[in-house]
Amino acid sequence: MKRDYLKVSDLSKDEFLSLIERAIALKVGVDIAKCPLIGKSIGMIFEKPSTRTRVSFEVAIYQLGGHPIYLTPKELQLSRGETIKDTALVLSRYLDAIIIRTFSHKTLVEFAKWSTVPIINALTDEHHPCQALADMMTIFEKKGKLEGIKLAYVGDGNNVANSLIEASSLTGVRIHIATPQGCEPLNEVVKKAQSKTEVKIYNNPEDAVLDADVVYTDVWVSMGQEENIEKKSKFKKFQVNSNLLKKAKSDAIVMHCLPAYRGEEITTEVIDGPQSVVLDQAENRLHSAKAILEFLLTL
């Protein structure tokens, strides 16, 4: 039976923790000569721009011995109205896995329903599970543990927030979210996670950041919402700056999935400051991408 990685919650706790462990091993060079993807071709359908996800997956596939095929919808008959069903069924005859970045999560689920090869979510409007895996790997590397860590997420209750909540529920990270009213993460994701770990939602950043081990933020408006000026105006007091950071533990780390809008959700002083781990976090996208590919393609 093929497995997909559409949401963090597609994995069990043990699987998620072993992917973190495996990503760290691959980072330090364990099994570097093994090429588990030799002879395999992986499609990459991207309906939105990407720097980290696209390049880290292409490099990961190459380094594991496989062949990445980057596809934009304009280059596919999808753009002329071919159905997701036919596209997924046909591509499954050529490819060994498909990585997809799209808008609605429903589109991804529909693709996965018809595809007979594993589907990996490279970001939808609702979830960004590959990011959350690299994020938990980074927290583990920096803090030496995950269970009990307090993660303060300041910003929009978006795809990154939803996946961080699901990842927190698998790892025992306590997640405190500060977001304006009306921008909360998905209710079903919050409710489900609350049965496994501490998930709190505030409308005030100071409340979430108090004594945090990790302070995380993301853009105020995500890809596809750029025209929503009204939404942006709700976030004025949700900036991660040095004043806010003082409320966290003195050894707190600062995270951002990137790309960042300096001067909006985070100041240059903080993102370039000594507590920021954003470049290690971005690097970990490569190592964790390898762990995901290896897991799904060598089951």
Binding site for ligand CP (CB under 6 A): 50-53, 123, 131, 257-259
Residue 115 binding target from ligand NVA, ligand CP, none, CB below 5 to 8 Å by type: none
Query: What whole-number distance in Å separates Cα of residue 14 and Cα of residue 84?
Result: 32
Smallest distance, ligand NVA to C-beta of residue 225, A:
8
Give which of 191, 130, 195 is closest to 164, Cα–Cα. Answer: 130
The entry of ligand CP, ligand NVA, none that residue 51 binds, CB within 5 to 8 Å by partner kind: ligand CP
Active site residue 285: yes
- Whether 3 sits among the annotated catalytic residues: the reply is no
Per rule CB under 6 A, is residue 109 in the interface with ligand NVA? no
Residue 179 near residue 242, CB atoms below 8 Å: no
Please report the DSSP string for 113-147 in residue order: HH-SS-EEES--SS--HHHHHHHHHHHHHHHS--T
- Answer yes or no whether residue 158 interacts with ligand NVA by CB under 6 A: yes
CB 77, min distance to ligand CP, A? 25
Nearer Cβ to ligand CP (35/258): 258
> Which one from 130, 257, 275, 281 is the annotated catalytic residue?
257
Which tokens is 221 given? 């408006």
Residue with smaller CB distance to ligand NVA, 49 or 65: 49
Q: What is the 3-state secondary structure (H, E, C) of 3-53?
A: CCECCHHHCCHHHHHHHHHHHHHHHHCCCCCCCCCCCCEEEEEECCCCCHH
x/- letters, 212..231, toward ligand NVA (CB under 6 A): ------xx--xx--------
Query: Is 256 an active-site residue?
Result: no
- In the chain, % helix, strand, coil (3-state, to 5) comes to 45, 15, 40
Contact pattern from residue 243 through residue 262 relative to ligand NVA, giving x for each residue in contact according to CB under 6 A and a dash for the rest: --------------x-----
**Nearest to ligand NVA of 168, 222 (CB atom):** 222
| 54 catalytic per annotation | no
Residue bearing tokens 């690299």 = 134
Task: Judge contact between 252 and 216, C-beta under 8 A.
Answer: no
131 a catalytic residue: yes
Distances (CA, A) of 290 to 23, 34, 99, 107, 179: 7, 12, 13, 25, 33
Q: Contact, 216 vs 228, CB < 8 A? A: no
Give the nearer residue to ligand CP in terms of CB position, either 52 or 287. 52
| Catalytic status, residue 287 | no
Output the residue with the shortest Cβ distance to ligand NVA.
222
Q: Decide whether 92 or 289 has the Cβ nearer to ligand CP.
A: 289
Q: Is 136 in the site for ligand NVA (CB under 6 A)?
A: no
Number of alpha helices (DSSP H) and beta strands (DSSP E) in the chain: 12, 9
Provide the residue count of the chain: 299
Catalytic residues: 101, 128, 131, 218, 257, 285
Q: Please give the residue ranges that form the binding site for ligand NVA (CB under 6 A).
A: 123, 158-160, 218-219, 222-223, 257
